[in-house]
Amino acid sequence: MHDDIEAVLLSEAAIHRRLDELARRITADYDDGQPLSVVALLNGSIPFLADLLRRIPLPLRVESLRVSSYQGRASRGTVRFHEPALPEVCGRRVLLVDDILDTGETLRAVQERFTAEAGASDLRTCVLLRKERQIPPRAQADYVAFSIPDRFVVGYGLDCDGLYRNLPYIGVLREERAP
């Protein structure tokens, strides 16, 4: 599996150091004794979410929402919600957590549904990775761990057809390994 990686962009140690910094910022922004509802966008955010939550010493509610927009290496151009209903967050402060901000379509679609349907009192977003490309202003993230080149990456939750999520680092997948 490691042989399928062309280059490691972010080591496990670098990811963990940055999560320490990100967690301190989130904690400072929400440190008022009120619970924060964290909603993970599945499946890619699972490792990021687990490591980030352990670093935030606040009262947290954890929810999840399964959405997808990719098939293999390419976005389908549409966002698919795999569950009919959103998590119950009416009147709550919500932090959406996703693995990567690429085209911005997934984050934008989820934000729109949460704004129109969920009734959160405050909605912010947090991503592990943001690709260095033009992203629509309404699809920006409030918290970004890393900006990366516009390359197809896997590892630490990110996949290619369901594989490579368990790599402890972020790496560029070799072209010949693409589906």
Residues catalogued as catalytic: 102
Please say whether the beta carbons of 7 and 152 come within 8 A. Answer: no
Please give the backbone phi and psi of residue 157, each rounded to the nearest 5 degrees, phi first. 105, -25
For tokens 């008022």, what's the residue?
32
Q: Considering only CA atoms, which of 163, 153, 114, 155 is closest in space to residue 130?
A: 153
Edge-to-edge order in the sheet of strand 170-173 = 5-10, 170-173, 153-154
d(CA 57, CA 27): 7
Interstrand relation of 93-101 and 74-81 (parallel, antiparallel or unpaired): unpaired
Name 104's Cβ contacts closer than 8 Å, sequence gap at least 6.
Answer: 135, 136, 138, 139, 140
